[in-house]
Chain A
């Protein structure tokens, strides 16, 4: 589903963000991307969204070299990738329903599709009752669930999550993880950048660790770090 071939990226100020990264992620995999701040996790996700282009190497998604896509095709690429962020990025003046509907509306889906899909996805994330609330009236965990609903409503092939539990308490983090797992079980490839050590250790999924832009570890059933306490 996702393949990085010798990918390097250096920012204009000369900071190397990724150096010679090679990685294969199969369809339906759940991958944790771990590493200290500045290790290149966010760059990795931005490259997948084609918000950045690599300086060297190729990135393939669903068999296609995304660097070779003409600019006007990029939106269509992004329709296959759902995104969740630490700061939710909901529209504060739209209701929960409208926030999720917005994602379908702006890619030209007809009203009938919106009216059938949005309630369904809100049920899935457990917010059927709160469809008419504004994001400000929800807890952080609920807001993040709206964001997941928005990312998944168009049934993307890939779901990217950048520190989705970073602003949440443990029990809310738990429910977001459960949600991502559920989405993963539908066959969606999930790539999640995180600092949440407990979560990674408990989930026992594939872990890719970046350090200074290089992959230093790729473990099938990994834990957050091999150092310190988690090494046991």
Chain B
């Protein structure tokens, strides 16, 4: 058995060295395309993580009109309490909002306000963050309600932008991955061509088909492997020097998952490329 393995490795590295220019081209294409795939995956994960964090903090605030009556406030309160999509609500008095405004506004503007001008309101947590919009549309027209605010819109726009970037990355990566496998296929075709005498002698003296195929399969596998290792390096670098806000920063385990996907893709691209070359050009 180790005779076979030694032979396959010896031949594989001889082939890689003989075709080193093609090998470098193939490996670099794999590396670049898989770096894009890896970045797209990281981007997707960190966007999901950031929007989950934002949405977990989603508060819908139902502002009452400053002049709303006690009855109106009570009926909005009971409607909120009965609504199945509202988890909990806190009533903010005019005095509380007055103090809150004091913190937020410059002293010159604040000085014209009195607590009586302030609205009271309910700060509510939806059961599911995405229900914020429904709460908004339900309560906006209730009597005595001044307005309802939900932060949902910005998150949606953000997610939309990230999704577009991700699609662009993946489309580029798909094209590059295709060219990577064609390059690998071509490298192996050349290796097979360079060795056609050996192959014909091997068939003649009764080398098994897998023995003959072995070095070429390993060759594609190794090209894919090396390419994906470069890509993993790039993904890790992206993770370490992340140019984005804290909320986007992923845990190491999430990066490991991306690394695994990149590795698996690289190795399978290499193997598929060599499998096709073997089927088409190595008649065993």
Contact = CB atoms under 8 A, between A and B. Distances in A.
A, B in one complex: yes
A89 B196 CA distance: 11
A72 B209 contact: yes
B197 A106 contact: no
Contact of B4 (A75, A76, A77, A108): A108
B200 interface: yes
A77 B208 contact: no
Interface string B1-39: 101100100000000000000000000000000000000
Contacts of B3: 105, 108-111
Contacts of B197: 89, 91-92
Contacts of A109: 3
B205 interface: yes
A89 B206 contact: no
Contacts of B4: 108
Nearest to B204: A83
Contact of A78 (B198, B203, B212): B203
B97 to A, nearest CB: 82
B206 A76 contact: yes
The number of chain B residues touching the other chain, given as a range, is: 10 to 19
Interface string A73-115: 0011111110100000101100000000011011111110000
Interface in B195-238: 197-198, 200-209, 211-212
A106 B209 contact: no
Interface in A33-47: none
A110 to B, nearest CB: 6
Contacts of A103: 201, 205
A91 B198 CA distance: 7
A4 to B, nearest CB: 21
A79 to B, nearest CB: 4
B207 A91 contact: no
A76 B204 CA distance: 11
Contact of B211 (A77, A80, A92, A106): A106
Contacts of A89: 197, 200-201, 204
A150 interface: yes
A154 interface: yes
Contacts of A91: 197-198, 201
B284 to A, nearest CB: 9
A154 B211 CA distance: 17
A99 to B, nearest CB: 9
A155 B198 CA distance: 21
B215 to A, nearest CB: 11
Given A108-B3, A110-B3, A75 B207 contact: yes
Contacts of A78: 203-206
A87 B202 CA distance: 16
A84 B31 CA distance: 47
Interface string A37-81: 000000000000100000000000000000000011001111111
Contact of A105 (B7, B208, B209, B212): B7
Given A72-B209, A81-B206, 14 more contacts: A75-B203, A77-B206, A78-B205, A78-B206, A79-B206, A89-B201, A91-B197, A91-B198, A103-B201, A107-B211, A108-B1, A108-B3, A108-B4, A150-B205
29 contacts: A71-B209, A72-B208, A72-B209, A75-B203, A75-B207, A75-B209, A76-B208, A78-B203, A78-B204, A78-B205, A80-B206, A81-B206, A83-B204, A83-B205, A89-B200, A89-B204, A91-B197, A105-B7, A106-B7, A106-B201, A106-B202, A106-B205, A106-B207, A107-B206, A108-B3, A108-B211, A111-B3, A150-B205, A154-B205
